[in-house]
Amino acid sequence: MRYYNLKDPRLKVGFRDAVMRGISSDMGLFMPETIPVMEPQFFERLPELSLTEIAIEVGARYVGNDIPSAELERICVEAFDFPVVMREIDSRKQVLELFHGPTAAFKDFGARFMAGCFSYFASHDGMRTVVLVATSGDTGGAIASSFLGVEGVDVIILYPSGKVSTLQENQMATLGHNITAIEVEGTFDDCQGMVKDVLTTMETGNRIRLTSANSINIARLIPQSFYYHYAVGHAGCGKVISVPSGNFGNITAAAMAWRSGLDIDHLVAATNINKVVPEYLSSGVYAASVSLQTIASAMDVGNPGNFPRLTRLFEDDFRRITSGISGYWFDDTRIREHIRQEFRRTGYILDPHGAVASLGLERYLEEHPEKSGIFVETAHPGKFTGTVEPLIETNVEIPESLRGFLEGQKESVIMKSGSDQLADFLASRYSTG
């Protein structure tokens, strides 16, 4: 399997180089040269396959010869040792719960698979790897948990000061060891821009290898496609899938699964008031904007980094894109109302991001009464008790894996926004100047 640079398709690398680089020197994202199409027999077997079994079969097509099959099987077994849960909400709606991993967020799937790949590659070349991560919420905790203690790898996580929940902050800023949290005086877009700039411009003198664990890294997206195969294989109703979308990696993974032959009828990109993509799907004009803060903080992205990958999967054809994807956006008031109403109607507790996906699915089903579908719940509501509990007027049980972070002692580096600030920090720490 070869991976090409979206900005310069002439640049092609193998899976290992695509993962270890994260992004090319011109800020181009790596994409598979072809999306591997699975055989009809694979889809016939989906209802009997576990997530790990799906991961091993699909993953092998993406990693090629860069990871031996026995190593890939070990990575998948260790990465996906927690359940994926499908629940029926009503006769037309099912929910795909992706929050049963160690950090109670869907990012666990990509982060743990990626950590396994990094660990395997780092053990074979001896160079220290420094992983840069920008997060608007759950990515930081998932990466920190997955990479904690991995030999030969340091993780540096940038997050916008005051714009993540206390629990989310503690998940990345209380671990120490090889995990460093940087609190940036700015927005998620500032953090993402700092990471991209440093990755593509900083000279390290071969002292360290810089890479990213954000969803700009293809190793994050590939494993996220696995659970869509699982969901469709175990679905009891229709195959419309509504995904809460911020940086648009999760829905891109769904589109990758669709391109592999998975029977998905339609995708719904559901967002908060950071509505760049829904407006594009309506007008055909893509206009990046400054991100706005909402209660669905992981989706506060004004210029989604994975959107070029998503459109490429539809060959950048606007008619094809809009025939396969619908976009809807909802403000905080509507999100709060839906959390309250859905709890009263069904007893199901939504987190703000799942609420956006649920609203997106409902809007699509209103327009297509013959359809039914699945919405994606990406984080446990216990991570957002300050928002959720007043709405449902009852306590949300905190998962055992999160309880230890409630009283953690935060240790972070305060940093002004700007790639020069991050570059100076790295040069000082690793003597790369």
Assess if residue 382 is contained within a domain.
Answer: yes
Assess if residue 303 is contained within a domain.
Answer: yes
- pLDDT, tens digit only, all 433 positions of the chain: 999 999 999 999 999 999 988 877 677 899 999 999 999 999 999 999 999 999 999 999 999 999 999 999 999 999 999 999 999 999 999 999 999 999 899 999 999 999 999 889 877 776 788 999 998 777 888 889 898 988 888 999 999 998 888 888 898 999 989 999 999 999 888 998 999 899 888 887 777 888 888 778 899 999 999 999 999 999 876 689 999 999 899 999 999 999 999 999 999 999 999 999 999 999 999 999 988 989 998 898 899 989 999 999 999 999 999 999 999 999 999 999 999 999 999 999 999 999 999 999 999 999 999 999 999 999 999 989 999 999 999 999 988 888 878 777 889 999 999 999 999 999 999 875 5
Instruction: Provide the pLDDT for residue 126.
Output: 67
Structure tokens at 75: 């990575």
Assess if residue 153 is contained within a domain.
Answer: no
**393: CATH:** 3.40.50.1100
- Tokens 């993780």 label which residue? 155
Residue 389, domain extent: 83-106+219-399
Count structural domains, the chain: 1
Assess if residue 63 is contained within a domain.
Answer: no
Which are the contacts of 116, defined by CB distance < 8 A and separation ≥ 6?
A: 74, 75, 76, 78, 79
Assess if residue 388 is contained within a domain.
Answer: yes
Alpha helix (H) ranges present in 25-165? 40-45, 51-63, 69-79, 107-122, 138-147
Assess if residue 297 is contained within a domain.
Answer: yes
In the three-class reduction of DSSP (H, G, I as helix; E, B as strand; rest coil), residue 238 is classed as: coil
Assess if residue 90 is contained within a domain.
Answer: yes
- pTM: predicted TM-score of the whole model, two decimal places: 0.89
Which helix (H) or strand (E) segment is 346 a member of? helix 332-346
Q: What is the rounded distance in angstroms from the CA atom of residue 378 to the CA atom of residue 28? A: 27
Strand partners, 13: 3
Assess if residue 64 is contained within a domain.
Answer: no
Structure tokens at 327: 């976009």
Q: What is the rounded distance in angstroms from the CA atom of residue 379 to the CA atom of residue 97? A: 8
